Amino acid sequence: MYAVVGVIAGLGAIAFQFLSQLVALFTLVSIAGYAPLQPLGEENIFQATPADFSPLLLIGCITLGGFISGILVFTFAPEAEGHGTDAAIEAYHQKKGIIRARIPLVKMIASAITIGTGGSGGREGPIAQIGAGFGSLLAVWLGLPARDRRILLAAGLAGGIGAIFRAPLAGAIFAAEILYRDADIESDVIVPSVITSTVAYSVYTRSISTEKRYDPLFGNSINYTLQSPMELIPLALLAVVLVIVGIFYIRFFYGTHHVFTRIPLPKPLKPALGAFLAGLTALGLYHLYGNDMRALAVLTTGYGLLQSTFTDCASVGIPLLLSVGLIKILTTSLTISSGGSAGVFGPSLVIGGCVSGAVGLFMNQHWPGITPKPEVFAIVGMAGFFSGCAHAPLSTIVMVSELTGDYRLLLPTMWVSTLCFVFCRRWTLYSKQVPSRIDSPAHFGDRQIDVLEGILVESIPLEPQVTVREDASFREIAQILNDHRQNYFPVVNGKGELEGIFTANDVWRYLSDGPLLDLAIAADAMSGPPVTISPKDDLNVALERFTQFNHDELPVVDPANPKRLIGMLRRKDLFSIYLDRIHAIRQQVKSFV
């Protein structure tokens, strides 16, 4: 079952990647004359000679893309709005693992159009929602319970992430970690996610040419090491810078969303407005840097400039790196917070990598002995930034290593990512995260303690009950009611066998009718057959029957002879035991603490 989800997630990643690049080829490249730079490990379909670059047509392409995406999303699947990872998280916690069947298809098309026409966004959000949607859909088709639906949803998310980023281990950890804001992890989804991510990665790589099939996304040429433990000091300063930028990113992103909700435009038109403004911003930066095409990395994924930063940071320079890193916050917010469909993981990598590269170059210029390689800052900072913003340090540490194919920076990556995670605890890029497992509706049942477990009915002393013969007249019953403070009366036959039961309220209203006192008998007032319970039954069973039939007392009968009455179990006796157990548990907890 998990392997099937992995196959579907892998095929979905192939389809999404192809579709987004196809849209880019026929819009940005062929019409606007802009061929976005690609990372070394990615297949380049932009082999066609670009048309002459036209800023006006670039604005037209990105605006049209935002318009079409908005129409698709708000007409067919409003849940596909924004960054898809948050929607998958919400479905896990709040919607019992259910994602509507149309969501994956709408998300795929809308996101491919958004990114392919130049919108600033990442691919992880769409593919996360696509994979999660397939997993949820399969669970619904199989009629699985809510717990299994959630696991398949998370496994599908892992498969999509592991495939599109060629990072199967990171994808599996990401799906288990991204659900929570605190240092918590969804252990139930780890093994299923490993299976789906491995299968999805294997399927996805079959679509890549042989020479690049198993290359990391940013190629095999990145080989850096930590030169000295002293380098951890400037890296700690880098973490402080990233925390400040990360908080600004999160607040600006959701602030932009709030602004767009107040703009008096139909919802389908807002992504077009956001895309138009993002395009204008990118062109302003392009002209500011003397028509340098690298400045346009604030659009689409921006991975090409990130590749240059990892390879030769100095060739990009501090001003351009800082500009792209900070302006990417603006263009991403305009693209996604307006209602566009794309992810925030990819832009976070570019923002973190570029800002960190600029910090690394600054450190290298002033303290070259401690920071000989500014590229190290770019790679490590890329991980730290997203760890802080998304509260996913473990998966991000692994993912950056898989993206670059270099595990020798694991120590500094752990250092910066942990610092960013700790300092960013109050802010998160994924608003649908819950603090921990105990706060998730998916685990409400985990917090319930079965305080009646193991307690049998026979452990409760049962007082002998006054029984009434089934042929007793109402006059006799009236006398019994006067003589005994008993509300429930078992009715027995001539052999003493239980036939039914009646309450005092059942007969009091008839006692004022004189003729009935001698004509009516107990059999006329009783309800039968009675709801009974065995001495060997658990008190949970008793509680369930008390609740189901709204009785205050239940006849306890011999398991070997269900008509032989042993006594009556009273609801108040059961609740007395329940409260005693609760009190005992509280005392145990207090003594433990």
**39 and 85 assigned to the same domain:** yes
Q: Can you tell me the distance from the alpha carbon of 469 to that of 366, in angstroms, rounded to the nearest whole number?
A: 102
CATH number at residue 352: 1.10.3080.10
Q: Rounded to an integer, what distance in angstroms lies between the CA atom of residue 443 and that of residue 23?
A: 42
Are residues 39 and 153 part of one domain? Answer: yes
pLDDT at 512 over 70: no
Could you tell me if residue 585 is inside a domain? no
Query: Would the pLDDT of 47 be above 70?
Result: no
Q: Does residue 54 lie in a domain region?
A: yes
Distance (Å, whole) CA 88 – CA 132 = 6
Check residue 63 and give its pLDDT.
96
Give a yes or no: residue 70 inside a domain.
Answer: yes
Kindly indicate the confidence band of residue 518, based on its pLDDT and cuts at 50, 70 and 90. Answer: low
Q: Is residue 448 part of a domain?
A: no
Residues 325-343 have pLDDT tens digits of 999 999 999 999 999 988 8
Same domain as 391, residue 318: yes
66 and 150 part of one domain: yes
pLDDT at 104 over 60: yes
pLDDT, residue 62, reads 96
Q: What is the mean pLDDT of residues 499-516?
A: 72
pLDDT at 48 over 70: no
Residue 164 lies in a domain: yes
Q: Which residue, of 381, 414, 442, is where some domain finishes?
A: 442
Which of 211 and 15 is assigned the larger pLDDT? 15
Nearest Cα to 62, choosing from 305, 322, 296? 296
Query: What does the pLDDT read at residue 49?
Result: 62
Q: Which residues of 236-263 are buried (b: 16+ CB within 10 A; e: fewer)?
A: eebbebbbebbbebbeebeebbeebeee
pLDDT at 388 > cutoff 70: yes
Instruction: Please tell me whether the peptide bond between 529 and the residue prior to it is cis, using omega within 30 degrees of 0.
Output: yes
13 pLDDT higher than 80 = yes
Q: Tell me: do 56 and 104 sit in the same domain.
A: yes
Asked if the model's pLDDT at residue 454 lies above 80, the reply is no
pLDDT over threshold 50, residue 592: no
Please tell me whether residues 96 and 130 are part of one structural domain: yes
What is residue 589's predicted lDDT score, i.e. its pLDDT?
Answer: 55
For the segment 135-160, what is each residue's pLDDT rounded down to a tens digit? Answer: 998 888 888 888 889 999 999 999 99
Q: Tell me the mean pLDDT in the region 554-558.
A: 89
pTM for the predicted model, two decimal places: 0.76
In terms of C-beta distances under 8 Å and separation of at least 24 residues, what long-range contacts does 489-497 make, across chains too?
A: 489/465, 489/522, 490/465, 490/530, 490/555, 490/565, 490/568, 491/467, 491/522, 491/523, 491/526, 491/528, 492/467, 492/468, 492/565, 493/469, 494/469, 496/467, 496/564, 497/563, 497/564
Domain that holds residue 240: 2-442
Does 209 fall in a domain? yes
Residue 358 CA to residue 335 CA, distance in Å, equals 25
pLDDT for res 516:
62
Assigned domain for 591 exists: no
Answer whether residue 225 is part of any domain. Answer: yes
The answer to whether residues 43 and 240 touch, using CB atoms and an 8 Å cutoff, is no
Token couple for 570: 């009273």
In this prediction, residues 106-114 reach a mean pLDDT of 92
3-state SS, 45-74, equals CCCCCCCCCCHHHHHHHHHHHHHHHHHHHH
Residue that is last in its domain, among 412, 442, 472:
442
CA angle in degrees (0–180, nearest 5) for 310-313-314: 165
Q: Is residue 38 domain-shared with residue 183, that is, in the same domain?
A: yes
254 and 351, same domain (yes or no)? yes
CATH value at residue 534: 3.10.580.10
pLDDT of residue 193: 94
Residues 430 and 464 in one domain: no
pLDDT for 125 beyond 80: no
C-alpha to C-alpha distance for 434 and 189, rounded to whole angstroms: 17
- On average, the pLDDT of the chain sits at 87
Among 139-148, 251-260, 276-285, 517-526, the minimum mean pLDDT is found in 517-526
Bigger pLDDT: 80 or 161? 161
**Same domain as 105, residue 28:** yes
Number of domains in the chain: 2
Residue 593 pLDDT class (50, 70, 90 cuts) = very low
Statement to judge: residues 326 and 420 lie in one domain: yes
The DSSP annotation for 169-222 comes to HHHHHHHHHTTBSSS---GGGHHHHHHHHHHHHHHHHTTS-GGGTTS-TT-S--
* Residues 491, 429 within the same domain: no
Does the pLDDT value for residue 363 go beyond 90? yes
